[in-house]
């Protein structure tokens, strides 16, 4: 019981990391209806860009997050027409073709990363990584690493900004219209190709920024992508495919599971527990925790 407060806090902080890697993925799926197996590689590439930028500029890597977002946002915007062409093809199942295409893209990016960055792991040095807050009350104590707290604040901030965009702007209304009915949105003058490009650019930019945060907390390598692809997929499926509001709750749930297994049980069974929770939820509610997924 003495470790319960620490387990709860760690669960929230781990959940914050999961939000960062899944929120953009959920947005992209809700609009484009594709499962992007390259999400982990976008995270990996963003992490290495943050590493090299911090080395070249000698700046705090957290201050470089807007630069990383812009670089990868533009890259995602320019790259999306290729995916759109695959989706709009007349031969074969476009969704299956997009799945295969992004899987191949993930392999290509991983190979590129191994060639350019090598096999070795490294971390992004941040002045915030060594700082922490410790709260003590009687027999209970809680330690909060500052860098993970920043990650949680970032995750909540991104979620709130995306929610505001979707509900309060014309661009957000166009995204919602396109997600609900592509044909009807086209009749209203909404360009699916242009809107998809913006959404994919935002998604890639958010994923790349998440890579920088992850690099400040943990080690990074060219082979890290597959791990975060699986984790982001778990969160998005548990939340409900394309249901943005469910992502934080699903992320916090998985974060709590991981935290409690790390402290009270065998950490080696963490993924097994996550699988069991995911399959149980999907058996009861195939559209996710809240029954609002696609």
pLDDT of residue 43: 94
Compute the CA torsion angle 96, 100, 102, 103 (nearest 10 deg): 140
Q: What distance lies between CA 109 and its chain's CA centroid?
A: 17
CB atoms within 10 A of CB 276: 12
Is pLDDT above 90 for 10? no
pLDDT digits (tens, 9 = 90+) for 202-258: 999 999 999 999 998 888 999 988 888 888 888 888 888 877 888 889 899 888 888
Q: What distance lies between CA 134 and its chain's CA centroid?
A: 28
The reported pTM is 0.90
User: Region 77-86: what's the mean pLDDT?
Assistant: 82
Structure tokens at 37: 């197996």
Identify which has the larger pLDDT, 219 or 263.
219
pLDDT digits (tens, 9 = 90+) for 11-70: 888 888 889 888 888 888 887 777 888 899 999 999 999 999 999 998 999 999 999 999
* Cα–Cα nearest to 151, from 255, 55, 25, 275: 255
pLDDT of residue 201: 92
**Taking a C-beta distance cutoff of 8 angstroms, is the pair 190, 178 a contact?**
yes
Highest mean pLDDT among 86-95, 117-126, 131-140, 274-283: 117-126
Q: What is the mean pLDDT of the chain?
A: 84
pLDDT of residue 41: 93
User: Region 109-118: what's the mean pLDDT?
Assistant: 90
Is pLDDT above 80 for 91? no
3-state SS of the chain is CCCHHHHHHHHHHHHHHHHHHHHHHHHHHHHHCCCCCCHHHHHHHHHHHHHHHHHHHCCCHHHHHHHHHHHHHHHHHHHHHHHHHHHCCCCCCHHHHHHHHHHHHHHHHHHHHHHHHCCCCECCCCCCCCCEEEEEECCEEEEEEHHHHHHHHHHHHHHHHHHHHHHHCHHHHHHHHHHHCHHHHHHCCCCHHHHHHHHHHHHHHHHHHHHHHHHHHCCECCCCHHHHHHHHHHHHHHHCCCCHHHHHHHHHHHHHHHHHHHHHCCHHHHHHHHHHHHHHHHHHCCCCCCCCCC
pLDDT of residue 90: 60
Instruction: Count CA atoms closer than 13 A to 282's CA, side-chain side.
Output: 14
pLDDT of residue 30: 80
pLDDT of residue 47: 93
Is pLDDT above 70 for 293? no
Identify which has the larger pLDDT, 225 or 290.
225
Counting beta carbons within 10 angstroms of the beta carbon of residue 37, is it exposed (0 to 12), middle (13 to 18) or buried (19 or more)? buried
Structure tokens at 91: 């031969």
pLDDT digits (tens, 9 = 90+) for 171-187: 888 888 877 777 777 76
Domains of the chain: 4-284 (1.10.3470)
pLDDT of residue 53: 93
pLDDT of residue 68: 95
Q: Any idea how long the chain is?
A: 294
**Taking a C-beta distance cutoff of 8 angstroms, is the pair 200, 77 a contact?**
yes
pLDDT of residue 1: 57
pLDDT of residue 134: 81
pLDDT digits (tens, 9 = 90+) for 121-163: 888 888 887 787 787 776 677 888 888 888 899 999 998 998 8
pLDDT of residue 105: 87
pLDDT of residue 25: 85
- What span, in angstroms and rounded, lies between the C-alpha atoms of 289 and 183? 29
**Taking a C-beta distance cutoff of 8 angstroms, is the pair 63, 126 a contact?**
no
Is pLDDT above 90 for 83? no
């Amino acid at each position: 019981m003495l470790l319960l407060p620490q387990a709860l806090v760690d669960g929230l902080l781990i959940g914050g990391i999961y939000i960062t890697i899944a929120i953009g993925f959920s947005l992209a799926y809700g609009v484009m209806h594709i499962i992007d197996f390259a999400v982990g590689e976008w995270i990996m590439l963003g992490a290495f860009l943050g590493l090299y930028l911090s080395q070249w500029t000698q700046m705090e890597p957290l201050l470089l997050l807007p630069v990383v977002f812009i670089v990868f946002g533009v890259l995602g915007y320019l790259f999306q027409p290729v995916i759109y062409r695959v989706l709009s093809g007349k031969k074969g199942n476009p969704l299956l073709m997009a799945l295969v295409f992004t899987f191949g893209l993930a392999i290509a990016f991983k190979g590129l990363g191994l060639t350019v960055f090598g096999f070795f792991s490294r971390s992004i040095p941040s002045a915030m990584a060594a700082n922490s807050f410790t709260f003590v009350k009687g027999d209970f104590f809680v330690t909060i690493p500052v860098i993970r707290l920043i990650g949680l604040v970032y995750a909540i901030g991104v979620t709130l900004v995306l929610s505001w965009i979707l509900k309060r702007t014309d661009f957000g209304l166009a995204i919602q219209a396109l997600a609900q009915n592509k044909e009807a949105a086209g009749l209203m003058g909404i360009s699916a190709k242009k809107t998809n490009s913006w959404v994919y650019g935002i998604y890639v930019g958010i994923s790349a920024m998440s890579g920088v945060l992850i690099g400040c907390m943990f080690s990074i390598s060219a082979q890290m992508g597959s791990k975060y692809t699986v984790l982001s997929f778990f969160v998005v499926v548990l939340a409900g495919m394309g249901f943005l509001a469910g992502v934080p709750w699903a992320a916090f749930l998985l974060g709590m599971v991981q935290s409690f297994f790390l402290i009270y049980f065998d950490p080696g069974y963490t993924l097994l527990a996550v699988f069991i929770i995911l399959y149980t939820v999907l058996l009861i509610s195939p559209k996710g925790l809240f029954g609002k997924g696609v």
